[in-house]
Structure 1
Amino acid sequence: MFTKQGPTVRELAVQALSSTERGYDLIAPKFDHTPYRTPDRVLDAVTREVRGLGPFDAGLDVCCGTGAGVGVLRELCRERVTGVDFSAGMLAEARAAFPPGDEGPVVDWVRADARALPFAPAFDLALSFGAFGHFLPAERFGLFVEVYGSLRPGGRFVFPIGAPPPVGSRAYWTLLGFDAAMRVRNALWRPPFVMYYRTFALGDVLEDLTQAGFTVGLRPLTDLGTRPDGSPRARLVVATRER
């Protein structure tokens, strides 16, 4: 799962015993060599699906990390793209990946907590990849309200969400075990490192988006395949600020 360029076991242990912000500052230089970076096939599938919803002028990558989502937005937006993250280390890596002067829309980087976004309603498209496990369920509604307030009327907030693994499968037990270990770690050690895989259930997410003011739809990401019952392995959530 990890390449030779990725973090060592010791580096991962230090990260796990740090705060969420400090942990990502530490792992940032090697993050793209870990399995935690969103795979290109997911980025490509989302790009293809969202392209038909445009056109878009300005885009926002919420919790941009090292900039994978910014790369998607640069393909979809005509004028300006903004990446926002609370980790200075991750933003430094993102800046290096998209140096000034590249062709395409202008790219801005903002260090801020997604729970208090510092933007007026200026964006036509917001997206996020792989970040929602860093927010506790009680914080999710507030996060969605912040994104809603950053979008222009008619703006879209999109993100992929995978189908849960079958109960009893290897993936099911792996994610259950990880979340259990993280809960024990956070009960015994401060500061907390918030990262959970099983706290972002689709039904709860749709309810919170609706309460935040969005009109919500789902689109199958057929490029990512189907499950044995024919249902998609992943869907794209499309939340629209109508006015």
Structure 2
Amino acid sequence: MFSPRGPGPRELAVQALSSVERGYDLLAPKFDHTPFRTPGPVLDAVASALARTGPFETGLDLCCGTGAGVGVLARVCRRSVTGVDFSAGMLAVARERTRPAGVPVAWVRADARALPFASAFDLVVSFGAFGHFLPRERPGLFAQVRSVLRPGGRFAFPVVAPPRPGSPAYWGLLGFDTVMRVRNALWRPPFVMYYRTFRFGDVRRELLRAGFGVELYALPEFGRRGDGSPRVRLVVARRPD
């Protein structure tokens, strides 16, 4: 799962027993060599889908980490791009490694649950961050995203179809979430990272309640499952004009 340049077992153990913020500060220098970084094909597919609905002027990468989503925004936004994250370590790596040509980039340290922006963006994206928010936090998170979008702005993120019950991937995710729940019951501070709490039906309802219109786009690069449903979708939530 990890390249030779990724973190070792001892480093992962220290990170797992830290808070989310401290854990990512520690992981930041080697994060891009872990399976937690959003794969390049997903980033490329999202950029292609957004290019068909854009162009956009200004973009925000929510929970930007080391800046993978900023590279996507730089391909579809014409004026400026901003990355926001609450880990100073991740932002430091992003500043050093992510320098897309053609568009200015700003990096802001802030909590996604209290964004320090007015209605400033035409597009907000997020990749792989929602497992760090408990279900009860999502309505507030979506309200924050809506507040930083201009009228007509879009909030986009990819969603992978859940693994079928009984499959190796299903048991793997179930096992991971179970370990995290036991860890958080026994150790403080908590480290919130759950893969099975971001259920599409619940998320769609919460986006609608937050005042978004919701559209779905299949990402054809990843094909379809046996029942004909897409393996990966792009969710595009639009703030009304």
TM-score of the two chains, using structure 2 as the length reference: 0.99
Partner SS state of residue 83, structure 1:
strand
Equivalent residues of 2:91, 2:109 under 8 A apart: yes
Deviation at 1:97, TM superposition (A): 1.2
Task: Give the unaligned 5+ runs of structure 2.
Answer: none
Deviation digits for residues 63-89 of structure 1, max 9, x if unmatched? 000000000000010010000000000
Aligned to 1:203: 201
Mapped to 2, the partners of 1:163 and 1:18 lie a distance apart of: 30
Which among 136, 139, 147 is matched to residue 137 of structure 2?
139
Within the alignment, does 1:65 sit opposite 2:73 as a pair? Answer: no
Within the alignment, does 1:191 sit opposite 2:189 as a pair? Answer: yes
Task: Give the unaligned 5+ runs of structure 1.
Answer: none
Mapped to 1, the partners of 2:171 and 2:190 lie a distance apart of: 23
Partner SS state of residue 188, structure 2:
coil
Deviation digits for residues 44-69 of structure 1, max 9, x if unmatched? 01011111111200000000000000
Aligned to 2:167: 169
Partner SS state of residue 233, structure 2:
strand
1:70-219 equivalences under 5 Å are 70-99=70-99, 103-219=101-217
Partner SS state of residue 147, structure 1:
helix
Deviation at 1:228, TM superposition (A): 1.6
Q: Percent identity?
A: 69
Partner SS state of residue 170, structure 2:
helix
Equivalent residues of 2:66, 2:98 under 8 A apart: no
Partner SS state of residue 145, structure 2:
helix
Mapped to 1, the partners of 2:48 and 2:137 lie a distance apart of: 30
Mapped to 1, the partners of 2:207 and 2:106 lie a distance apart of: 26
Mapped to 1, the partners of 2:76 and 2:55 lie a distance apart of: 8
Query: Aligned pairs, how many?
Result: 241
Mapped to 1, the partners of 2:121 and 2:173 lie a distance apart of: 34
Identify which range, 90-99 or 120-129, moves more after superposition.
90-99
Any runs of at least 4 consecutive aligned residues in structure 1 with deviations exceeding 2 A, and if so which?
A: none
TM-score of the two chains, using structure 1 as the length reference: 0.98
Deviation at 1:11, TM superposition (A): 0.4
Deviation at 1:104, TM superposition (A): 1.0
